[in-house]
Amino acid sequence: MRAATFDTTPPFLHEKARAVRDKVFGPRVFVRGVVEVSSHCRENCRYCAMRRDNRALTRYRLAADELAELIIHQRPASITDIDIQAGEDPVAVREVVLPLVRELRRRTNLGITLCLGTLSQQEYDELREAGGDYYVMKIETGNPDHYDLIGAPGSLAERVAAICYLARTGWKVSSGLIMGLPGQTSAEVEQTLNLLTLLPLAGCSVSPFVAGEQTPFGTSPNGDIEQTLNCVARLRLCAPHWIIPAVSAMRLVSEDGYVRAFKAGANLATINLTPSSARADYPIYKRDRIIMDEERVLSAIADAGCDFSPIGIADHLRNAPEVVLPKGVNIFA
C-alpha cells in the first residue's frame, strides 16, 4: 500500500466531502456521550493542561457505580454509544473503567468507546474482554521529531505499534491529529495525513490546537479553523468509511466551526455527560470549556442539514469490512 497523495485544496472541497459522507452514511451523525472519569495523568504532554507537571490542577477519579447510574438512567435518548475517557491513569483503568465497562455491557446495548492512552497489552485485552468496542488512540503528529518536541506520550513508533495491536486483537480503532501545533510545518501535516491513511483505522479526528493557560505552549496561537475543516474534508475524501467527529475545540476557536465540520463531512457528535462538579478539572484545552450538551449538539446537527443516526457506531462497525495493515508495509518509509 502506498501513502495517499493529497492534492492542493480543490474548489468545493467541503461540498464534495459532504456528498461522499452522505453516499456512505446518509446525512446522519452518530451521537455518543462522554464521561471523563479521571484527570490524573502520568504523561507530560506540552500541549495538554492535564500534564503531570501541572500542580495547579485539582485531580479527581469518579466512582464507577455513580457513573453507571448516570449513564444507564440519565443519558439523553439520542445517545447510542458512550465514550469513557481519562488521562493516562492505570489506577482509573483498574478501579473505575473496567467495572464500569462490565456493568454497561451487562445492563445496556450501548457501544463502548475508550480513550485511555497507551496501556499494556494485558490492559487492552482485559478492556476488550470486559466489553469495549472502539479505542481512540491519537498520534497528534506523524513526524517523530515533532512528536518528541510536543512531549506526546512515549514515542510515535510506540503509539503506532499500539494502534496496530489494538486492531489486530479485535478493536475498532480511531486516531487523530492536532492542526496548528507549535512547530508544525505544512510538510509535517502531509506526513501525518499520509501515515494515518496507512494505519488500520475505522475513524480519525482533527482538532485545532488550543493554547492551554497551564501548559508550556500557553502563549502560542490557536490553530486555524479553515485548515482544520479542510483537513476534515480531505480525510473524508481519502477514507469515505471513516467515523470523523466534530470536536468541541472547533467551537472554541470559531463560533460556527462545529456546525461547519458536519458540512465538511464529519459524522460524529459527542454530548458531555461528565458531572458538572468535575468538568473544570478536566482541561484538555482550558478550564473555560465549551460544554456540548444535548441541546447544543442536536441544534448543530440540524443546522448542518443532518439528522442523528438511530444506529450506533459499534453496530455500524460490526457490519463494516475489517481494516488491517498489510504485512510488510513500513509505515515510516
Average pLDDT, consecutive stretches of 10 residues, N- to C-terminus, the chain (333 residues)? 44 92 97 98 96 96 98 97 98 98 98 98 98 98 98 98 98 98 97 97 97 93 96 97 97 95 98 94 77 94 97 90 53 46
pLDDT at residue number 287: 61
pLDDT at residue number 321: 63
pLDDT at residue number 328: 47
SS3 content of the chain, % helix, strand, coil (to 5): 40, 15, 45
DSSP line for 244-301: -B--HHHHHH-TTHHHHHHHTT--EEEEE-S-HHHHTT--SS-SS-----HHHHHHHH
Q: What is the CATH number of domain 13-318?
A: 3.20.20.70
Beta strands in 159-234, from DSSP E residues, in sequence order? 172-179, 203-208
pLDDT at residue number 329: 46
